[in-house]
Structure 1
Amino acid sequence: MKAPAYYNSLMPYMIVPKAHDFANFLKAVFNAEEQLIVPRQGGGIMHAEFTIGEACIMFCDATEDYLPFACSLFILVDDVTSVYQKALAHGAASLQDIAERDYGKSAGIKDTFGNVWWLTEMSK
């Protein structure tokens, strides 16, 4: 198999409840782009690939055999305030308010799927 150009050396593979909703969250909050969705027979997502910038996230719907588990991700964004506000508007909870820190402007959120996202603004 020839790897798609958007593949990286290391990519998170997330097993989430309600993968279609998770895909919508990624698109709305992080401007993620759908690369591939393989539907599961009987409904749901068997495998999905979305890109956020140069990163690729793979995920699928949780099943009885593959239970959901939380993931923690560090993500560089152009505008922490905007991403943080979009995340909260789409059901995420604040774990860490926006603040200037030694490493830059950052915040933390937990999405409704149980995942934690550490948002840090890229230097301009």
Structure 2
Amino acid sequence: MAKTNKPEGYPAVCPYFLVSDALKFLEFVKAAFDAEEIMVHKGDDGRVMHAEVRIDDSVIMFGNSTDAFPPETGAVFMFVSDTDATYKKALAAGATSRQEPDNKDYGRAAGIFDPFGNSWWITAV
């Protein structure tokens, strides 16, 4: 595969979410995963057209859904330093449990649904 032309500090693959309320999604990822806000671009109506956050060495992009681009759910796998702490923090931020923390062959793992229906699989190895 040829080298990509991407901005400095961005990974080659960035998950993109279309959510019903991008500002609430921003609040959730900040509270649950200590996401650092990179940018938020709003339209004239105040809705988020495009936003980006950094979680560790990754970037997640998102925006408000529209009639032309309805909400879509997805799933993200992420490595964390402490599965149990991250799981509890996500629940406190409004997530619901998909799978309680458990020891697996590949590490300590758990799963949550964010308030927008997306799955987040969190694992510490």
Aligned equivalent of 2:52: 49
Residue aligned with 2:121, SS: strand
Percent identity reads: 41
Q: What is residue 114 of structure 1 aligned with on the other side?
A: 117
1:76 aligns with 2:82: no
The answer to whether the 8 A contact 2:78-2:122 is kept is yes
Which of the numbers 13, 17, 25 marks the counterpart of 1:14?
A: 17
Letter in 1 for 2:65: A
Measure, in 1, the Cα distance between the counterparts of 2:40 and 2:9. Answer: 15
* Dislocated runs of 4+, deviation >3 Å: none
Q: Distance in 2 between matches of 1:84 and 1:106?
A: 9
CA RMSD of aligned residues (A): 1.2
Q: Give the number of aligned pairs.
A: 121
Aligned twin of 1:91:
94
1:7 CA displacement: 1.4
Instruction: Report the TM-score when normalising by structure 2.
Output: 0.92
Q: TM-score normalized by structure 1?
A: 0.93
